[in-house]
Structure 1
Amino acid sequence: MQNRRLKGQILRFSSVFPFVAGAMLSQPALAQEAEEDAESAGNVIIVTAQKRAQDVQDVPLAISVTTGEDLERLQVQNIDNLQYSTPSLVVAGADPTRKSFGIRGISDRSRNAGFDNRIGVYVDGVWVGRSAASNQGVLDVASIEILRGPQGTLFGKNTVAGAINIITERPEDGYFGYVEGELGNYDLQRIRGTLNLGFSDAAAARVSGAYTKRDGFTQNISNGLDYDNRDEYNLRGQLQFETGSTTIYIAGDTSSYDFRATAGGERIGDPLAPADRVIAIDDEQNVAIEYSGISAQIDHEFGNGGTLTSISAYRTSDFFASSDEDYSPVTLAGTSRVEEDTKHFSQEIRYASPDNGTFDYVLGLFYLDQEIDGGGSAFVFARAINPAAPPVFVNVDQDAIVSSQTFAAFAHANYRFSEQLQLTFGARLTHEEKDIDFTISDTSGLFTNGTLVDDRSATDFSPTVSLNYFASDDVMIYGRYARGFKSGGWNADFVPSISDIEFEDESVDAFEIGLKSLLFDGRLRFNAAAYLSKHSDFQVFSFRQLSNGGTALSATNAGELTSKGFEIEADLDAADWLDIFVNYGFNDATFDSFANGGGPGVDFDGNRPSEAPKHNLNIGFATNFDLGFASLIAQADYNYRDSFFSNPNNDPVNLNAALETVNLRAGLDFGNVTVFGWMRNAFDTTEQIFNSRSFLGIPRAQFNDPQTYGVTVKVEFGK
């Protein structure tokens, strides 16, 4: 009933949308003054989505920007926290080492060494790589840009669904910083801080760190341990030098996560542990994730205003995990290891021309060299598969080394026919080479035995073009076409056959129309976009039921998939002390054709892909009221995410419930000291947010986080 009411409200809103847009276009008198008012009101948000600094309102692309102030206000600790406040963003999956990132109904994860993720995550212009490193800790971040839709021209590397661009705070002149401490329920203890050291006008350094420890949400009545606990740290160091017209920026970071995970979730209908967030298993399911990197960016500005940029980077990510596959306190089946070691070197060189008001462009070259070493070992008591089998343990081991090299050249330009009409266009030419050495050894009968040594290559040309009409200084309408490309690979996993583990390249043609506007003297930011994406040879990763009763991991190419929908973002400065915000996304993604998706003769035509909720909504307010001796800060936000399937078979056992949460925050800001209390999931709602089946076909589910609360104290010093 609640879902129907929400859909009714959405339909009513969408029916008046054309009239709202018309009203915006009829305000040229207000718009002339809006830009100056917006700047004075702090309403200008600078982004680098097109590889140069621009006002987000001038970029013909659906972008959600969360500033550093917003990140603090929303208490974002990791990227996955942004999914409830960003239209069309989903981060799902019970496995913390390989969470699935999705935008506009297009989701996946780098499940194994031969499968790449669709969404690129970048830190200061550097691609971070695999899913294990994608859920970045948010530490001393200036802003996070979430670019929706294919970004094949400027970002490349399989960004067929979108990109997440993290921009950190840079070192600057002066001595200043902050220390922040936090205590909460589940014995939460968190401390983080930043120290900026300005040696001179031309040299500065910055060090940031964070450490978090917390008990788990899930209790294991078999061994007395808590699961989903946290023990993690993040550290970043930066140096920046300026000499003449050249700036050198060097950054290094490292992060580590150790905890006991619920892995695939909890067994549904467990007679030994029937309550939510209670399990009865014998494996500790330890997980360790580490990622780190170092990069050097050199920017040289020429006399004509053009800038030459070089970004060299080396990054690694590693994880190790074990899991209990029988979901019982008796050792019957499990994975003794699932691990992956990844390292990659990347080099980008680009030239950004000066902006002379009529024409500007970016030209660049990109190179990536990556090696992934991954694998796993699983075991099962033979009689758990076949009652007549001998009383012994059987096992399967699989290991793969996948190497790849990517070469790309790209160009991007803006041409202004007049003050009102602009053309944006660009293209990327990519060539990628991959090779694999894969071995699987099985004595269980559930999988197979064999070796595969193979290689593949692909070349792609991905253009983009956008026509942009500026009805005024603060109202822009654009229409955009973009092509994206995702290279093929191999399903190097626990598989029943080697002969069919290769899958082909995927491509997408995406169309988008959008509106960007600042209204009412810059106090209202209202942006909207409608989109249609057509994916060919869509790469599908899923769990497939086997005739022997087990479950296998399948990666194949569906024929075609269509994703369509619209998004709305609005932010109103209702008063000097009150901000009201609304974000909404509607998505309808379905397989146009997916022959034999469930095996020979079982088609998935018309089914929804994995992790593709139809609706997500975020609405709330934030206050900053001057009391004289301090400022009263408060925030409340409501988040809704619709139900979705975790498997393209759309079986009810894989349907995840809709989720509603309310978050609260209130406190006092004394200038250099801030004290506030907070509560997440204030009404303590409990829902199954990720359902699936284990290798033995056991139904399982993961739950959302329960109610958490605490107190945070932040002390700033220096500048």
Structure 2
Amino acid sequence: MHPRIFFRSTALLSCALPASIALAQEVPQTQPDPETEEQGDGLSPSSVGTGAADDNTIVVTARRRQESSQSVPIAVSIVGGEHIDATGSFNVGRLQQLTPTLQFYSSNPRNTAVNIRGIGVPFGLTNDGIELGVGIYVDDVYYSRVASATFDFLDVAQIEVLRGPQGTLYGKNTTSGAINITTRQPTFTPEGSLEASAGSFDFRQVKAALSGPLSDTLAARIALSYTDRDGTLYNIASGDNINQQNNLGLRGQLLWEAGETLDITLALDWSRQNPVCCGTVFVGTGQTQRPLDRQFAALAAAQGYQVPNSDPFDRTTDLDAPLSAVNELGGAALKANWEVGPGTLTSITAWRFWDWLPANDRDFIGLPITTLSQNPSRQDQWTQELRYSGQLDDLDFVLGAFGYYQEIRTQGTQSQGPAASQWLITPANPLSADPSVLDGLTATNDIRLDNVSAALFGQLSWHLTDRLTIQPGIRLNYDRKDGSYVSVVTNGIGERVTFASIDPLIVAQRAVLAPQSFTATFSDWNLSYDFTASYELASDVLAYATYAKSFKSGGVNLNGVPSDADGNPILGAATVAPEVIDHFEVGIKAQALDRRLTANFAAFRTEIGDYQTLVTNGQLGVLRGYLANAEKVRSQGVELDLSFRPTARFNIYLNGAYTDAEYVRFDDAPCPPELSGGTTALPGQTPSALGTPGGFSPENCDISGQRLPGVSRWAFSYGAEYNHPAKLLSISGEVYFGYDGSYRSGFSSNATPSIYTNVDGYSLSNFRVGFRSDDGLNLFAWARNAFDEEYFEQLQVPSGNTGLIVGNPGDPATYGVTAAFRF
């Protein structure tokens, strides 16, 4: 039986299986449990931010059951829905400003990386053939596409950011952490909300939700979110402001309480992004080891080209190829909850789709070198999870099974333009003077993946005494990936470009776009396990220690692989081995002063063998990047979360992380741009110094001991809020002033660290001032990046190794107002 048919059939059959587990979003209508109630603003001691409107009880579902956040022996940060709204953290990119251990980088929705503690997915171009290390879950449904992280949060009640491997509790194995998003659920008491914002750059945002009963046993909830903002870069080639925001999201839920012990929820959602996006700006150039006449300055001068502006924070670019970032996703989920025996049985059946319709300017400048670069993609996924959780005397338990099938189909095109010959062919070759040689050269790609995963998992919490608990967990996982990559290249007159031809014209063309075809399969079983011991040192003081052995599934390369001298794909590079993870962590969670002061501490070390990383071929048009295994990396560090509410009118928080993440051993890595592009040094020849035009380049480089990309050593978030009783037009309430700041130290922005792509550290400051009434009205003005900090989200080195450096500037200062009402 085909895996797709199997999973679809299983999903349909499971619809009849009732199950239940109490989720955090299902709890707010009940009264707080005195044993789990926490003081303050509804943000747990391990949480981030302030927000007086949040619920007083923080209940987390990190271990698939209701627990006080302080009793969970896991490093977890929690952000309440009210604080998300107050700080404008409407997607994961904004969320990283509140959670120092989270890293988010995106050059467009598809090429997005979400990491925790510096690990998760390779930094750079996304490769569909590998798994995420950070799982994204919305109401227990796994989102396999990291592009979902760029969408607006929709009617969110709470977000939990869990650090460290989570495979013995969650549906899909996640080796570096999980983002667990809980939405507000249908209620039998009518309620609703409406929020509207307007600000600089023509920012407009509307959020609305309505919930209530349809009958004694049926309740429904519908929510909408719309965000629109003008672009922060000006493209002189098109006359458009680019890098816009244009997001629309809808979610509907229907809850059926079929009995006292049975409830079933159907959820439907759909979201679409359609901005003019995504572009970069010129940052500078750096010398490589290519011949001087093939570096950026000489190539640009030969065609009379000048960059539009040498100051990247003038935010001007001249991209002449079409730009598009249409991103659409949605799906349906059916969750059945049945309290049976000593626990609850849960069935979660879900289907999700993702459509990606891009267009990019892959030469990054205003010359018609690459005139079309787009790889539209369609993904469908089906998931089925069965889970039983409960309690037997001194044992809490979770037992589960998970099935997953994913289908990805990508058909794309890359075409060269009339400026390509002079830019891409060496000037010594007479063909470089003929624009027709490369004009119209086109690669047509057909990329496919079928991905099957199945798992059994479980975890026990055995309370040996009132203070001591041990928690073993285990997961048995099977993964299979079948991938294919076909790239057919034709020239401007329709001829096939092949490796069989010795025609100088064809030879020059295939040096720019090379045909390739291969299939690859990866399949394997693995066993993960973890063990946690926790001990209550005193009232409100919990210490814990964890060891986890985890695996990240192997994968297949779907961006192409290197070829041998005859043009045959090197199939040894078509698959990448699984990652093997050893994770160690100790922590303390403590509260004092009647729980007005909370201090949580965690220290960790994660060692990864066969780390899946992205390597880049420096040659033009051959490969932009493919996957490989680094022998070993490790991430280690400490994290501190502090929250203090000295009075009911004032609260303050500080969250910090020190993360030391490096390649322990990677002795055959690609070299950085400053050591690439020259003649390969033969045995006995000494490579030239950095940035020596026409010099000798190493065949590969040993980057052992160097930093992993995308992670700062130091990261902090901090803030405070003060409120005071007041009246506005006879409406009773309080005025408030809030501040939220963040700091990240510098980081590497290239898979192999380069002197040209180190991003400087930066700090951001956000302010808000407003009035909150006692009956749900909230009016406030806000400023984000209030001091107009100039910073880069990332720097990039385009293929070809010409020395060009481009970047993605962070948002400038923005200002606006928000009016919100809840009832």
Determine if the TM-score, normalized by the shorter chain, exceeds 0.5: yes
Which amino acid is the alignment partner of residue 315 of structure 1?
R
Aligned equivalents of 1:712, 1:369: Cα separation in 2: 42
- Report matched runs for 1:301-340 at 5 Å: 301-302=339-340, 304-340=341-377
How far the C-alpha of 1:155 sits from its partner, in A, is 2.0
264, 267, 270: which one pairs with 1:251?
267
Decide which structure has the larger Cα Rg and report it: 2
In structure 1, what is the equivalent of residue 291 of structure 2?
A: none
Q: What does residue 455 of structure 1 align with?
A: 521
Contact kept? 1:398, 1:493, Cα under 8 Å: no
* Aligned amino acid, residue 239 of structure 2: G
When the two chains are superposed, the root-mean-square deviation of aligned CA atoms in Å is 2.1
2:79 aligned with 1:66, yes or no?
A: yes
Counting only pairs closer than 5 Å after superposition, residues 559-578 of structure 1 correspond to structure 2 as 559-578=631-650
- Residue 435 of structure 2: aligned partner: 391
Query: Which whole-Å deviations, capped at 9, do the CAs of 1:650-696 have from their partners, x for residues lacking one?
Result: 10112112121100011111233221100000000111220111123
Counterpart pick for 1:627 among 721, 726, 732: 726
Alpha-carbon distance in structure 1 between the residues aligned to 2:105 and 2:40: 39
Whether the 8 Å contact between 1:273 and 1:280 is mirrored in structure 2 is no
Name the SS for the 2:547 alignment partner: strand
State the shift of 1:218 in Å.
Answer: 0.4
Aligned to 2:308, what secondary structure does the other structure show?
Answer: coil
- Determine whether 1:174 maps to 2:218: no
Distance across 1 between alignment mates of 2:253 and 2:415:
45
Q: Is 2:421 the counterpart of 1:382?
A: yes
Partner Cα distance (2:473, 2:140) in 1: 19
Distance 1:283 1:367 in 2: 42
1:180 Cα offset (Å): 1.2
Distance apart, 1:154 and its partner CA: 1.4
Mapped to 2, the partners of 1:650 and 1:294 lie a distance apart of 42
The 1:83–1:332 alpha-carbon spacing in structure 2 relative to 1, beyond 3 Å, is same
1:210 alignment counterpart = 225
Residue 283 of structure 1 is matched in structure 2 by 321
Q: Confirm or deny: 8 A CA contact 1:113 1:400 kept in the other structure.
A: no
Matches of 1:195 and 1:601 in 2, distance apart?
Answer: 59
Instruction: Quote the Cα distance in structure 1 between the aligned partners of 2:101 and 2:256.
Output: 39
SS of equivalent to 1:537: strand
Map 1:347-358 onto structure 2 (within 5 A): 347-354=384-391, 356=393, 358=394
Alpha carbons 2:514, 2:622 under 8 Å: kept: no
Q: 3-state DSSP class of the match of 1:154?
A: coil
The alpha-carbon deviation at position 334 of structure 1 amounts to: 4.3
Whether contact under 8 Å (1:657, 1:687) holds in the other structure is: yes
Paired residue secondary structure (2:360): strand
Q: Deviations over 1:401-427 (max 9, x none)?
A: 110111100011100110111001111
Letter of the 1:710 partner, please give it. G
User: For residue 484 of structure 1, what is the aligned residue in structure 2?
Assistant: 550
Whether the aligned pair in 2 keeps the contact of 1:156 and 1:428 (CA below 8 Å) is no
Task: Name stretches of at least 5 consecutive residues in structure 2 with no aligned partner.
Answer: 1-32, 43-55, 286-305, 490-508, 564-568, 672-698
Query: Which letter does structure 2 place at the counterpart of 1:640?
Result: Y
Match in the other structure for 1:117:
132
Matched letter for residue 807 of structure 2:
A
Unaligned runs of 5+ in 1: 1-32
Contact 2:520 2:574 in 1 (8 A): no
Give yes or no for the alignment of 1:686 onto 2:798: no
Determine what percentage of the aligned residue pairs are the same residue: 29
**Is the 8 Å Cα contact of residues 35 and 473 (structure 1) preserved in structure 2?**
no
Structure 2 residue identity aligned to 1:385 = L
Q: Distance in 2 between matches of 1:405 and 1:549?
A: 32
Q: CA deviation at 1:482?
A: 1.3
The answer (yes or no) to whether the contact 1:618–1:637 under 8 Å persists in 2 is yes
| Higher mean C-alpha displacement, 86-95 vs 33-42 | 33-42
Counterparts in 2 of 1:394-543, with a 5 A limit? 394-442=441-489, 443-493=509-559, 495-497=561-563, 498-499=569-570, 500-543=573-616
Residue-by-residue CA offset, 1:61-82 (whole Å, 9 max, x unaligned): 1000111122122221112211
- Which residue of structure 1 aligns with residue 750 of structure 2? 647
Q: Distance in 1 between matches of 2:443 and 2:722?
A: 57
Letter in 1 for 2:468: L
- Contact 1:107 1:612 (8 Å CA) reproduced: no
Of 803, 812, 815, 1:706 maps to 812
Output the amino acid matched with 2:235: N
- 1:14 corresponds in structure 2 to none
Corresponding residue number in structure 2 for 1:7: none
Q: How far 1:550 sits from its partner (Å)?
A: 7.3
Cross-structure match for 2:403 = 367
Count of residues in correspondence between the two structures: 682
| Per-residue CA distance 1:464-490 (angstroms, 9 max, x = gap) | 100100113311000001122211222
SS at match of 2:64: coil
Q: Does 1:614 align with 2:708?
A: no
Q: Give the letter for the 1:529 counterpart.
A: A
Helix, strand or coil for the counterpart of 2:169? coil
Deviating more after overlay: 510-519 vs 112-121:
112-121
Deviations 1:90-140 (A, max 9, x none): 101322322111111114268133233221100011111112223342111
- Structure 2 counterpart of 1:51, which letter? R
| Aligned counterparts of 1:40 and 1:580: Cα–Cα separation in 2 | 10
State the Cα distance separating 1:34 from its structure 2 match.
Answer: 10
Q: How much does 1:367 deviate?
A: 0.3
Aligned residue number for residue 139 of structure 1: 154
Q: What is the CA-CA distance between 1:544 and the residue it aligns to?
A: 3.6
Letter in 2 for 1:271: V
What residue in structure 2 maps to residue 595 of structure 1? 667
- Which letter does structure 2 place at the counterpart of 1:508? I
Q: Distance in 2 between matches of 1:127 and 1:264?
A: 31
2:80 maps to amino acid: T
Contact 1:160–1:508 (Cα < 8 Å) also in 2: yes
Residue 494 of structure 1: how far off its partner (Å): 5.1
TM-score by length of 2: 0.80
Q: TM-score, with normalisation over the residues of structure 1?
A: 0.91
Shift of 1:170: 0.7
- 1:582 is aligned, of 654, 658, 662, to 654
Letter in structure 1 aligned against 2:721: A
Equivalent residues of 1:157, 1:486 under 8 A apart: no
Is residue 40–residue 596 contact of structure 2 (8 Å, CA) maintained in 1? Answer: no
Matched, 1:664 2:767: yes
**Contact 2:717–2:741 (CA under 8 A) maintained in structure 1:** yes
SS at match of 2:435: coil
SS of equivalent to 1:231:
strand
Shift of residue 262, structure 1, vs aligned partner:
3.3
Between structures 1 and 2, the one with greater strand share: 1
Amino acid at match of 1:61: I
The amino acid of 2:625's aligned partner reads L
| Conserved 8 A contact 2:188-2:219 | yes
Q: Residues 528-582 of structure 1: CA distance to partner in whole angstroms, max 9, x if unpaired?
A: 1000001010000133423x69763131000000110011111111210111011
The CA distance in 1 between the partners of 2:338 and 2:527, in whole Å, is 29
Quote the Cα distance in structure 1 between the aligned partners of 2:342 and 2:408.
41
- Separation (CA, whole Å) in 2 of partners of 1:230 and 1:37: 39
Residue aligned with 1:653, SS = coil
Contact 1:475 1:516 in 2 (8 A): yes
Q: Which amino acid is the alignment partner of residue 609 of structure 1?
A: L
Q: Is the Cα–Cα contact under 8 Å of residues 34 and 520 in structure 1 kept in the other structure?
A: no
1:29-50 Cα distance to aligned partner (Å, 9 max, x none)? xxxx995873698554111111
Cα deviation 1:144-183 (Å, max 9, x = unaligned): 0101111121125341111100011111112221211111
Q: Deviations over 1:468-517 (max 9, x none)?
A: 00113311000001122211222211554331232111121100001111
